[in-house]
A and B are shown apart, each in its own frame.
Chain A
């Protein structure tokens, strides 16, 4: 728990009869012979505000409230969910979960067993934030977005502005047959502002978006000084104008200095997903895909250069995957995934930890809503800075002919996490260690191990920034998770650069 000044769990959520419902459901599951059973009751509040050219385009409030029961019955999972919050309905959901396990038994040949986890008793956890966004008047929130939009619309060369803010308040109650009972609350925010210029006579357009990351903070994120909103908004028009007039890149090999605002997404796609053990074991093979980092390579795979050190955690303050206990009832942790360029760890849940004899789970089970079964989802997967690493300017200073990449935009990677292609918000030419104006139509493309193998240096601790996303997709039925990735800027040698206009055959 944060200290006494921080907000506590919403009393309206605590007023729901979760313990009575959990007792009814878990008791029924036990009677029906479940070896394991867990009960979740969740309430997820969301608000999306979207402005277009300073006018309200969309405002929507949502609240998803429901309960679910997951059992292991006769060695087979069974999952069911419902929305009626009465003990009778909770019992019916438990019965449905057992019925689902029975229908599924003929297609299950691998008995489900779970890794041991200490019983945590009745515990509470609240994420670190100051101001619940759902307590801020909607008019004030829209007013701030109007102000941001008008600042940009007033600038030369800006024809359109989109301003959005997604806000989430997630309350989660969990109880299992072993006796762990957790009540947790998280808040997260994702503000974005995009400016577009249109040249009607030529029929062309260009856009530039803020790089401010989504974070596990409250409304104070938009009004305080953890991000320099005024500074970033004031520079977008000049960056946009420069980009629209910039020369088109010559494709070929370049040295890259990649900013944390872009590199986080490359980490997410080529390290985060590739080190999910469920992918390595084939559970996602028909959908999200598998991984080149197969289990037989644990401890030996040369993932990247010696400069590459990767941590998985669900504990970083303000991280989007940060929480106290996961949806298997496991207390969250921090661990190594890549050490000096070698694969040394995976992201786990209790079932896989047991299956592969890895001991305790590192706490990556997550369900995005009361209506979905928990699966292994991504921790905050981050690249550690170098203790004696330099500044961004030091890294740029080490490049004769290269490109400095800022902000994420387009992303795509194959189903085994080898071949990726990314674009960005801004690409600056580097000449003799100095920035020399923007380039346009740039995409970088590489194979994962080649790319991380070409990483010559990373910045020092002062250059580390946590970025992330709200919209990581995985599993069938599809589930969406929020996750953060931190890193310093990093220097890569000889990366393949494509010209996207030539790729389009123009």
Chain B
């Protein structure tokens, strides 16, 4: 049974008032290594079918959501009936909305799913082997992970929606350490197909950074002028993004709620006229241009919105909060426009051209970070986050890296940081370090913060 046949057959079996079927064909391959040798690997396949049955009742509209893997032709009817039963049992859904109506698309609905395999590492695996050899000779240990995932999604509905999308997603993490683990450096890349990955160049960058760390400087906690590289900015902005739900803000319980009621839309947040946006068509960061949801979640995502188009959205425009994430149901209740989440995020300032090396060269005395880690919310009122610096904090003096500094625990709010921007560099594609299990498509600039709050020292290296 092809995925398209699965969708059509399930829709034909449905006796509910409405039905949405989402199938996901997923293939993935990965290599993982530590101490210059392989640790684990894998080549995995999965196939999932979600059936969302919509049932209109006297008191409201209900949805029954069931997702299963390995569904056979024989098992499909049972899945559809179970979904209908779940809808009848559940009672009215708070996020109920009319199912999405079809629009003209350029999707190739009839095309087969695409697949990846372990062969995607045909060049990367031997290059890694060479890098391990070089590293061993230079008293350097390499750790890391390479993964390629291909998902082909088909969404069909009883209202006539038929959408297909192929999402390739690759990521590469490489961590270099001295044999005593005292010095540590990291590079990461987000890629669609691994053809743009140059292992030798990444290894050379690690070697340079480990060289920087041969001189060490102990610094106490305090507020420091700090340059955040794009990957660190991505992790902070991702947290801001997932905290930007309209419903919670309207309820008065997020950093984006306004005293006296309402939200902070229209309020200036950033000291520089930056734009924070998502756009499924962003070059190199292409992602699904329509909603797929196999569970409703926290006012951010609704199963009733499956198939709804996702366009470009500016969440922050010219430094002002411009939009919050909004389901169709919440939009209808509040007289606003829907604003679905997209699977990418870009932060840019107009005419920003400075590269990270240029920003370092213009720094009299400050810290240069590599990445942030273990980021958790401390206080939702201010969106205060805590976390650690990781894999290289460098002291910059007179425009040059002067050595490596101990790690810090920091406490900062990404919303506050936007209000204290010292300098914004040129955005580039980057891999979030903390959140790349969930989110790999970001373009962020390096940022200079005049007074980043390093709260306590961490002995970790």
- Known contacts: A58-B296, A286-B186. The answer to whether A205 contacts B70 by CB under 8 A is no
Chief secondary structure at chain B's binding surface: strand
B90 and A138 form a contact (CB under 8 A)? yes
A84 and B70 form a contact (CB under 8 A)? yes
B259 and A373 form a contact (CB under 8 A)? no
A415 and B388 form a contact (CB under 8 A)? yes
Q: Smallest Cβ distance from A77 to chain B, in angstroms?
A: 6
Which of B33, B380, B457 makes the CB contact (< 8 A) with A419? B457
Residues of B within 8 A of A203 (CB): 252, 257-260
Which of B44, B86, B381, B409 makes the CB contact (< 8 A) with A371? B44
Which of B30, B68, B174 makes the CB contact (< 8 A) with A65? B68
B94 and A55 form a contact (CB under 8 A)? yes
Residues of B within 8 A of A55 (CB): 92, 94
- Contact string, B210-233, partner A, CB cutoff 8 A, digits 1/0? 000000000000000000000000
Q: Smallest Cβ distance from B371 to chain A, in angstroms?
A: 11
A99 and B43 form a contact (CB under 8 A)? yes
B22 interfacial contact with A, CB 8 Å: no
Which of A80, A285, A498 makes the CB contact (< 8 A) with B175? A285
Residues of B within 8 A of A64 (CB): 69
Q: Which of B33, B82, B299 has the most CB of A within 10 A?
A: B33
How far is it, in angstroms, between the C-alpha of A504 and the C-alpha of B413 when the chains are bound?
7
A476 and B147 form a contact (CB under 8 A)? yes
How far is it, in angstroms, between the C-alpha of A60 and the C-alpha of B460 when the chains are bound?
40
- Known contacts: A107-B125, A414-B373. The answer to whether A287 contacts B460 by CB under 8 A is no
A275 interfacial contact with B, CB 8 Å: no
B271 interfacial contact with A, CB 8 Å: no
Which A-chain residue is minimally distant from B456 (CB atoms)? Answer: A445
Residues of A within 8 A of B70 (CB): 65-66, 83-85
> Which of the candidate stretches A177-185, A390-398, A405-413 sits at the interface with the other chain?
A405-413
A415 and B460 form a contact (CB under 8 A)? yes
A226 interfacial contact with B, CB 8 Å: no
**Which residues between 42 and 98 of chain B lie within 8 Å of chain A, taking CB atoms?**
42-47, 62-70, 82, 86, 89-95
- Contact string, B20-41, partner A, CB cutoff 8 A, digits 1/0? 0000000011111111111111
- Known contacts: A410-B386, A414-B374, A445-B455. The answer to whether A57 contacts B40 by CB under 8 A is no
Which of B31, B177, B411 makes the CB contact (< 8 A) with A285? B177
- Contact string, A36-72, partner B, CB cutoff 8 A, digits 1/0? 0000000000001010100111111111111010000
A286 and B173 form a contact (CB under 8 A)? yes
Chief secondary structure at chain A's binding surface: mixed
Q: Smallest Cβ distance from A93 to chain B, in angstroms?
A: 8
- Known contacts: A285-B143, A419-B457. The answer to whether A104 contacts B92 by CB under 8 A is no
> Which of the candidate stretches A193-201, A209-217, A314-322, A463-471 sits at the interface with the other chain?
A193-201
Residues of A within 8 A of B413 (CB): 504
A107 and B252 form a contact (CB under 8 A)? no
Residues of B within 8 A of A334 (CB): none
- Contact string, B121-149, partner A, CB cutoff 8 A, digits 1/0? 10001101100100000000101110100
| A interface, size bucket | 35 or more
Which of A58, A78, A411, A476 makes the CB contact (< 8 A) with B32? A476
A501 interfacial contact with B, CB 8 Å: yes
Q: Smallest Cβ distance from A356 to chain B, in angstroms?
A: 14
**Which residues between 75 and 96 of chain A lie within 8 Å of chain B, taking CB atoms?**
76-85, 96
- Known contacts: A139-B89, A371-B44, A414-B407. The answer to whether A504 contacts B125 by CB under 8 A is no
Number of B residues, CB within 8 Å of A: 101
Q: Smallest Cβ distance from B250 to chain A, in angstroms?
A: 11
A282 and B67 form a contact (CB under 8 A)? no
Which of B92, B261, B416 makes the CB contact (< 8 A) with A56? B92
A205 and B381 form a contact (CB under 8 A)? yes
Q: Smallest Cβ distance from B194 to chain A, in angstroms?
A: 14
B129 and A160 form a contact (CB under 8 A)? no
B376 interfacial contact with A, CB 8 Å: yes
Q: Smallest Cβ distance from A245 to chain B, in angstroms?
A: 15
Residues of A within 8 A of B416 (CB): 504-505
Which of B28, B38, B119, B132 makes the CB contact (< 8 A) with A477? B28
A412 and B387 form a contact (CB under 8 A)? yes
**Which residues between 355 and 412 of chain B lie within 8 Å of chain A, taking CB atoms?**
373-382, 384, 386-388, 390, 407, 409, 411-412
B89 and A137 form a contact (CB under 8 A)? yes
How far is it, in angstroms, between the C-alpha of A66 and the C-alpha of B38 when the chains are bound?
25
B373 and A415 form a contact (CB under 8 A)? yes
Residues of A within 8 A of B377 (CB): 410
B30 and A476 form a contact (CB under 8 A)? yes
Residues of A within 8 A of B82 (CB): 61
Residues of A within 8 A of B35 (CB): 110, 281-282
B196 interfacial contact with A, CB 8 Å: no
A106 and B129 form a contact (CB under 8 A)? yes
Which of B30, B94, B128, B376 makes the CB contact (< 8 A) with A52? B94
Which B-chain residue is minimally distant from A415 (CB atoms)? Answer: B460
Q: A66-B70, A414-B458 are in contact. List 6 more A-B contacts (CB 8 A).
A: A285-B34, A286-B173, A286-B186, A412-B374, A418-B458, A445-B456
Nearest 5 Cβ contacts at the A-B interface: A203-B259, A416-B460, A419-B458, A286-B175, A138-B89
A positions within 8 Å CB-CB of B: 48, 50, 52, 55-66, 68, 76-85, 96-97, 99-101, 103-104, 106-110, 137-139, 142, 159-160, 196, 198, 200-205, 207, 281-287, 289-290, 292, 371-373, 375, 410-419, 421, 423, 441, 443, 445, 447, 473, 475-478, 496, 498, 500-501, 503-506
